[in-house]
Each structure stands twice: as C-alpha cells, then as structure tokens.
Structure 1
Amino acid sequence: MVLTDTAIRNAKPADKPYKVTDSQGLYLLVNPRGSKLWRIKYRIDGVERKLSLGAYPEITLAEARAARDAARRQLAHAIDPNVAKRQARIEASIRASNSFASVAEELIEKKAREGLAEPTLEKMRWFVKLMGADFGKRPVTDITPQELLHELQKHERRGRLETANLLRAFASRVFRFAVATARAERDPAQLLIGALTTPRVKHFAAIIDPNEFGALLRAIEDYQGDPAVMYALKLTPHVFQRPGELRQMEWAEVNFDKAVWTIPVTKMKMRQPHSVPLSRQALAILQAMRSLSGSGRYVFPSIRTRARPISENTINAALRRMGYSKEQMTAHGFRTSASSLLNESGKWNPDAIERALAHMVAGSVRRIYNQSAYWAERVEMAQWWSDYMDELRSGGNR
C-alpha cells in the first residue's frame, strides 16, 4: 500500500501504536495520544534497524520519501543511516561550539588567565557584541573575507572608522586563536588589511601653556559636585596616570607611610606593575578622601554604589561642566600636559618622565633598570611637579 496525505490524515489513534506503511521500508507510526511519527525500516549486516525521521505534519509525505531515498543511497554505499545521522548531529554540535562568539569567549577567558587587565577584557567582550548576534553564531570555518568585510563596513558607513579597524584587528585575533586550536585553517581578517578606510590619528586634547594650565587648576579648585568626582579631579593632574587606572584606584594600593601608589599589573595597559610616588599635596587629597570612602574598596566610588568606581567618563564630564570642550582638554590630556611641561622645564631626565608616565620601555633588562634607577628622581620630580602646579594655580610661573 502506498500512502496518501488523505490516508495519513484519516489515520486515527488506537489503544496501541500501529503502523501505516508506505513503500521501501517507510512507514508512519500512529501513537495512542495522536502523534504520527515517520520511521524507515532497513537492514544492514543482516540486522534490522529503524531510522527516525520526525513527526507528521512537520515532515510531509514528500519529505519523508526524499529522506527514505537518501537513506537507501547511503545503504547502497554501505553507510548506516543512523550512524550518518548521529555523526551529522555531532558535527553540528561541534560547529555550534566553534562559532565566532564561542571561540572569542574562549580567547577572552585565556587572556583573563594570563592576567590581561579587566578594562581590556571588557573591551574585547564589547567587540564581540559589536559584531552582532547573527555573525557571532557563524562557525569560524565558514566565515569568508567578504562576509566579514560586510559586517565591518556597517560601522564604516556610519563614520566609525576607528571602530571598524579595531574590530578587524580583534576578529583577526579570534581567527588566529581558532587556527592555533585546530578549529580553522585560515584568518580571513588578515586578507582584509587595507580594505577599510584608515582613520586619521586622533590626539587627546591637552593644555600645555603654563598660564592656561594654571587657569584650569583654578577651575578645578572651584569645582563643586560629588566628593568622589571633586577629589578625583584634583588628584588627576598630580599623578597624571591613565584615567582608567585612577578611577579604579583602591585603598589597598595606597601606602601612606611610604607615599606610594602601587598599580597592579592587571590594571596596567602595558601589563607591567607600576609605582607612583605621591607628593605631599597628593597625599593630602587622598587623606581627605579617606574620611569619605576609606571603609570601602575604591578610593573614588560611584555615587550609585560603593561597590564600583566612578565611571570612565566622569572626569571628562566634569571638565565639560567647567566649560572645557573636548577640543580643549580631556582626562587623558593631563598626561600630555605633565609630559610637556616637565620636559620643557629641563630639570628632569626624559627617561624618568617616560617611566613616570608608565610608557613601555623596550627590553626587559632596560625596564628593570628604569624601575630602580629613576625612582629617586621620580620622587623628587613628583614633589616638584605638585609645587609647580601650586604656583601656576596662584598665578605664578617658574
């Protein structure tokens, strides 16, 4: 008997499961609760086996017959359809675990174990989100250069040139990790070098004129707002470290007796621990803040929750409230101001200034040397710099 759609629809449930046969081993199993399941009966090596195809009407009669014919072709080549189906399921599972997003997350977890700074890890997670959920589900082995370029150009068309280039570089890291772990054979992002528009290099706006810098210091002194923001703003020019390092400053990192702030490697951009000598003025600012937040973890806690530090845009937002545009001054610009004015003074070794800024020095031996050789000079320079800023704030200029 050859089945028809009418016969299938008219097949009613009975007390026990029963079969409605089609041809060449295909049949429909009708269950007491009404479900109708496609099955194929076949023999391999003399043993009878059954292959499940799915339920009717999700799998139509025509689709069930096509699946039966495909199974018969496998049998003709001595392939067990059940084994082939199981292998296909395993391969699909592997492909799902080898999606761009899953491989990227593995890479991020690896970098976390290696001690990469948390802000950098967060930026990597942000990159994964920017690539989009649909792209993230794509197996790394299937992604072509053209497909990746299409995703990157979405950002390029919106004028986010730097973001597009950063995403290409991040995607390349993910693909190289996939290659290194035997889950991909190539890096399609490598082939896109030069395909995107290169953004113009942007420099952080900074005030380097002594008189203008003095006016900025006076504005900071007059700033009114949340105490954490006020004191963070006051401390920033004294220590001139990266904004992310300062906002995440913890009391456990500050040694008042030795007048040193030690930033752990996990927070440093260059993945090198960094010690910052604290002037008398810097210590006074921290002492004032300690009476407000000393019982918590962070020196400058968020106004919303003491479990987190102030946000990364807090200092910039304060500068805008003071009337300084992003073209005039930025939180990162305090580093440029300090570097420029310290070098201009002619009093300090340029290598000591570079070390104070925590810039990477080539060669591990030279790094170790710089950490020790310039410490005494950096301590003296930190105090001179704070005294100099006091003079600038009062209207003087050495």
Structure 2
Amino acid sequence: MLTDTKVRTAKPRPKSYKIADSNRLYLLVTPSGGKLWRWNYSYDGKQKSMAFGAYPIVSLADARGKRDEAVTILSEGRDPAIARKLKIEANIEAGRMTFERVAREWHGNSKAQWAKIHASDVIRSLERDVFPTIGALPIAQLTPPLVLGVLREIEARGAIETAKRVRQRISAVFVYGIAQGVVENDPAERLGKVLRPLRKGRQPAITDLNKLRQMIKDAEEDNARPITRLALRFLALTAVRPSELRGARWGEFEDLDGRKPLWRIPAARMKGDLDRKEEPDGDHLVPLARQSIAVLRALWPLTGEGELLFPSNRHTHRPMSENAIGYLLNRAGYHGHHVPHGFRAAFSTIMNEWAERQGKDHDRQVIDLMLAHVPREKVEGAYNRAAYLPRRRELAQIWADMLLKGLPAPAVLVERPAKMTNEWSRRIVPKPVARDFRFRRRSEAA
C-alpha cells in the first residue's frame, strides 16, 4: 500500500510507471514528473479506468475517498464514470438555473390567475429589487443570508411593507423551484420573522414639496387609465379622503363655469358617526382652484354622461377600485413611501409650514377646516363648516400653484398611453374639447 512518503518521494523515470495502492487504486508517475491518480474497475464485463486528479492537489486520502465513493456506485450496478459525467452535467445545468430564470418561469406560470396590473407589479418589483442582486446566481446556491441581504436593502430605503411583499414573492419562486426539482429548500421561508415590523398609526406620506411634485410626475407618466391619472391629480389638489374622492358625483359640484366653483360633499359621505352624517348643514365644502377645474374639464368627456366622476373600469355605476390610485403609486416606485391618504398629511404639513413662513398663524385653523378637521374644543353639531370660505379659496389656489409647478396640463394625462383592461375602457377614448366648452347640467346634455 502507498504512504504519503512514498507518494511524495516517487521520482520520474524514462517511462511512465505505476505504484499500486489497495482495491485497484494506483499512482501513475510520468517521465515529466507528473503524479496522477487512477483507478481500474470492471463494469458489464469490460475493464475500465477512472482518473481522480493529480497529486498534490489530490492527496492520498482524497484519492482513496474518491475510490471508495466510486466503489459504492459500482456496487449499486451503476457505471461510476457515467455517474460522474451525469453529475457534472447536472451541476452545469444547475448553474444555468439562475434565480431570475426560475422567477420568470414562475411568473409566466402564475400570471394567468392574476389581474394584469398585479402581474405587472409582481415582475416589476423583482426586476427592480431582486434581480440586480441575486438574479444571476444559481437558485440552488442561494442561502438565507443572501436573500436577507436583498430584503435589508429594501428596508434601508424605508419601504418596510415592500420588503415583506418581496419576501413572499421570493418564497413563492423557491416553492416553484422545489416543485420543478431545481432547488431543495426555501431560504426565504422564515425570514419574515426577522424583518422590521410595519409602523402602525400614521400612513406613509411624502411631505417635502419637491419630492411630492416628483412623485406625482412619476406616477402620471406610468401607464394607467386616464381616469386614474386624473383622480390622482384631483386627490392631490383637494386633499380629501380617498373614499370621498371615489364616491364623487357630478351633481355635487356647483358654479363650475362661474367665479366661485365649489365641491359640496354631502355629510352622509363624510367620515364620522351617524350623528355626523345626519347633521344639518354638515356638508364639507371644497373650494376649487383653477387647476382643479382643469382636471374636471379633462374628465368631463370621459365620464360626464354618468353619475360618478371616477367610475370603475368594469361597471360605470360603481366607484373606481379603492386600490386603483394606490397601485399607480406602487408601480411608480413609491410603495411604502406614499399612499393616497398621504396627500392629506402632505397638504397639512406643507401649507402649515408656508403659513408659518408668511406669518399667517390664523391660517392654521383654516387649513384644518379644509381637511374637515373639527377642533377639539368645538362640538361637532355646533361647528360652522362654511366658515372662512373666501380664505379657503385663496389657500386652495396657493396650494395648487405650488403643487403643480412644472407639471403638464390635465389634457396631456388623457393622451398618454393607457392600460386597457376591458371593452368599456376601450370605448372611453377622449373627445376633443372645444374652446367654448362649458359644463352642462345633465338635463341640458340630454
């Protein structure tokens, strides 16, 4: 039998020669001084040989281990050389099965059961947050720390909810890979327990004017129904609650062609208990800036024949989905940064800071009234909801001028590419608006 000393001290000769070890393993010493491990075996009546590598890269102990592994395979009735070749090919193929490749297969297999917008959101989040980091790595070699690193990067930018959603999607890719036999386990399965918890209470909102303006610009440039784009802008201008916007009806608007355009939201649609909803003179009054009127003018050819300003894309008699604007913000990359309700916080923060800079402390009460906030010292039923209307109109215009500086006219939003999801969506192609356009009552239009 060979020893480490014999292997190390073996000298080259004019011709190659063998030094035998146990169980047909031997060291082949070449004239050039090379020392190669070889093993002879019989399979299916034929004499064969396998190479186990060169000394000293492969030690005597390593060579014996390779021989013993081959003997085990041979005892199972398999050819060790073929088994090794198949293993090499499997390893090469495993290297080709990157996370991105498997993820795209999973997405293609799953998207038929999803809404088109959701399917687009899913692949977009992977392309933005996952593929750049681990997309090119073999899925079978990914570990929990590698996946956690991806999620920590998302958390670092403050997108806590996005990190949780992405973890779920990564885990779904691994489950698909397990079913396909390209990976054995899911390293993302238990990472949800170590992610940062969601902040409870205040909803995420961008309260910096420049960043808010950029967010609106990014969202409006994304593919969406024209109605959804206009709804986003009208929500930003009026700072009403999203539920109040969704239920808006053309019949709630007054003097749209006059000098004092107003949106009168019925008390029954406002947030509050039953007493609040039944309160006399409890309507919320929203003075409209010029930019808000421009949104309504662009919207009128699309939905003016119906009751609702912002109807569903499937049923014109129902309000748009409560998630429509939120999905638009998410697709624009603001998931976890700003939600539709966040425009109220943005309006309050920016306008109160403006009032402080201008030395107009009294405007703080007016701003609260514009948000339908009732001061704590006031009794709900005794609160004058029509107070300070002229000043509210002035502040609404100041807000609109600041917010939309540099942004395109609403008519541009209508002309941009839209996601058509059904036959009704294809029918609402906007019509040219004449210069002498006037809002008409529905009875006049008929």
Length-normalised TM-score, structure 2: 0.45
Length-normalised TM-score, structure 1: 0.49
